[in-house]
Chain A
Amino acid sequence: MTNQDTKTPNNIQRPDRRTATQIRPLSCKQGFLTQVDGSAQFAASNRSTVICGIYGPTEVKPQDEILDKAFIDVKYRPDVGIPGTKDTLSKVVLRDTFKHIIMRSLHPRTMIQLNFQVTQSDGSIEALAINAGVMALIDAGVPLKYTIAAVSCCIDVDGNALLDPTQDEMNDAVSIHTFAFSNIESDNNTPIYSNSTGKFSLEEYKMCFELCKVGANKILAFMKTCIETKISQLNQS
């Protein structure tokens, strides 16, 4: 595929009436689970939803104990059926991502457990799980190096890049890319997380990178608004 073929025209009409660079309307709810130390639900247009519940920093099994760091335990459950190989991959990927953003050395010899439950699945679950995890960690008050936001992007058969794809768009895609960016401005060109599947050229990858960067900054702004609204509501009373 040549360079001219990859483009992000804004006039593409997607099945849900979005343009190619538009993310679905987001919704986020924090602290609604009563038995955990922190929780969040992150949803895209109420069609894809992930719930995350955090326990911790809490007691750790002796075999998992790390002397100078917190042990990060991730449990991941899909919306249908029991966890399989694909879900184990998601689990490992999430664990390795959160290992880098949690300040683990501030809570040595403890465990921080993240429980993910997909409740609705219509594409971009990987990105939503990262976003739900971050919001839940913030709710639990776990110290974080930075706030991150993730977003997916896919290249369809015509070479168009589509941001925040639905499941149908992902099924027909040639390649799928997911990136996460932090809210630290100087790091804005280094993704915290990058995962690509399928066949793609360097130009396509770069285009998705730029597209996702813009999308992630929108999600970061949304997260900030969410937290500001929640805190100012509490302070009013």
Chain B
Amino acid sequence: MTKESRISIYFFAPAGIFMLIFLFFPVALLVRDSFFEIDMIAQGRGTFVGLSHYIDAIRSERFIGATTNTIIYVVVAVGFELILGLFFALLLNTAFKGHGIVRTIMLAPLMIAPLVTGLIWKFMLNNQFGIVNKLLYDFNITSSRHAIQWLSDERFALLSTIIADIWLTTPFMMLVLLAGLQGISPTLYESSQIDGANKIQTFLYVTLPSLFPVMIVAVLIRTVDAARTFDIVWVLTQGGPSNSSEVLSTYMYKTLTRYGQVGESSAMAVIFIILLLAVSSYFLIAMFKANKK
């Protein structure tokens, strides 16, 4: 071992040991537990059951339902966030007078807890006292004050959680895309002007392609975060009514705490990790290709 790498290890060791014990070991334990039937109270080692928890999970309707809901949640939320974020980023990038203040206003929710976001929307979407239903009624969109039972109607529960997510994280999307827009070299715009491109052509052939790598990273970060959403869904609906807004995180939480099924929830968590790693490596490959161009 060279002297250099030994010094590197000295610096890395404290963090490395900490992560080994409290991060990598838990993940290893998770994988181990997924193959065992474990009794929480007996605290024993459990009995080896092989892949049966995995097979049960894949076969169970609730797990498939929660996975489907998670996918819907991610696709719809991240899709809208991307469009809204891009829209706001383009507007702010025009550098109108006072754009700094407007940017600060937009960025204010950045650090709000997902839990608080859930509470805000729980209050606004409340079936009896919510202001959203009142506004819909006042603007003659709905015929009654209680027309939409946002949180207790199976058709709207998942949508409600998605709305809260979009509200919370559009500022992040806007921020990253705005930084991306400002990084586009002005010479690209000049040359497209010389080539006689109109505004829409410039946007389609200069702005969007230049922004593409940034977009992929932003979408990747948001996809991973949205997939592991827990707080918002827990506060708004707890996955209900009749599992219509159940996502993977809430389902696993219930499997662990309400039913005490360590093995089952561990197996689902492993499947979840594999799914997320697969999706993110797909994104990373796409980004790598985009950078090559």
Asked if A pairs with B, the answer is no
User: Which A residues lie at the B interface, using CB under 8 A?
Assistant: none
